[in-house]
Structure 1
Amino acid sequence: MDGKRLQAVAREVASSLPEVTEGRPFVDKLDVYKVAGKVFLIVTDDPAEQIITVKADPGDAEALKLQYASVTVGHYLDKRHWISVAAGDDITSGLVADLVATSYELAAQSLPRRDRPNARH
């Protein structure tokens, strides 16, 4: 999967999740996706660095870094709880969708129960 497709899949999945907001609160080249104010996805808008950064369980993050050459420690954020994913032959749309959805769930679970997306309905 190339970088443009990687980012497009990540954006598409993130936008389909409940109560997601998107903006550029840090710098112009970073699209930041949040659930109830908690960041769960960062997509670079730099053609020279087409990556996504997602939240991950530390154990899962280590396994992913060992399994995929294009998965590295998270850029911009805590290196233990975040991973960055770049283009690669072994990176699939399904993997990207799973990583974004898992990141969303981890962010949502860190919210007080009353603020979680499902609790508001």
Structure 2
Amino acid sequence: MRGRTLQQCATGRAEELPGAELTHPSGEGWDVFKVHGKVFMLQTDITGEPLVILKAAPSDARTLREAYEDITPGYHMNKQHWITLHPDGDLDAGMVKDLVTESYLLVVGNLPKKQQPVSPATFGRQS
């Protein structure tokens, strides 16, 4: 994905997710997407390139970093639990959308059941 297209794709998917909201707690240089007050995605271009930062299970994060040059440890986040997506590489829109969804579901899964806008076990699965 080229430049801003990466962030536009990720934003489009985040906006489709139940209960997701865009906030700017750190000012205009950071887009922070949350579900019930918990962060699942950040976006910034503070490094000079448009980045997308997502939560990931530690084993998945490690595997993704090994498999894709465009996925690195989370920028300014816990390096085991967060990944950074970089533009202009081999990541396609489907993968970006899947990674955003997975990040969201990891956060939703840690919310109290009453606050979960979807069931993390069944969300997005065809019946």
Contact kept, 8 Å, 2:61 with 2:83, in 1: the verdict is: yes
Per-residue deviation, 1:46: 4.1
Equivalents in 2 of 1:38, 1:105: separation in Å?
11
What 5-or-longer segments of structure 1 have no aligned partner? none
Equivalents in 2 of 1:22, 1:62: separation in Å?
27
TM-score, L = length of structure 2? 0.88
Instruction: Trace 1:48-59 onto structure 2 (pairs within 5 A).
Output: 48-59=48-59
Q: Please give the secondary structure, in 1, of the residue aligned with 2:91.
A: coil
Q: Please give the secondary structure, in 2, of the residue aligned with 1:43.
A: strand
Equivalents in 2 of 1:74, 1:47: separation in Å?
13
More helix by share: 1
Q: Does 1:29 align with 2:55?
A: no
TM-score, L = length of structure 1? 0.92
Report percent identity of matched pairs.
38
Equivalents in 1 of 2:42, 2:80: separation in Å?
16
Q: Larger deviation: 66-75 or 44-53?
A: 44-53
Instruction: Trace 1:1-121 onto structure 2 (pairs within 5 A).
Output: 1-46=1-46, 48-118=48-118
CA RMSD of aligned residues (A): 1.4
Q: Please give the secondary structure, in 2, of the residue aligned with 1:118.
A: coil
User: How many residue pairs end up in the alignment?
Assistant: 119
Q: Please give the secondary structure, in 1, of the residue aligned with 2:40.
A: strand
Contact kept, 8 Å, 1:51 with 1:86, in 2: the verdict is: yes
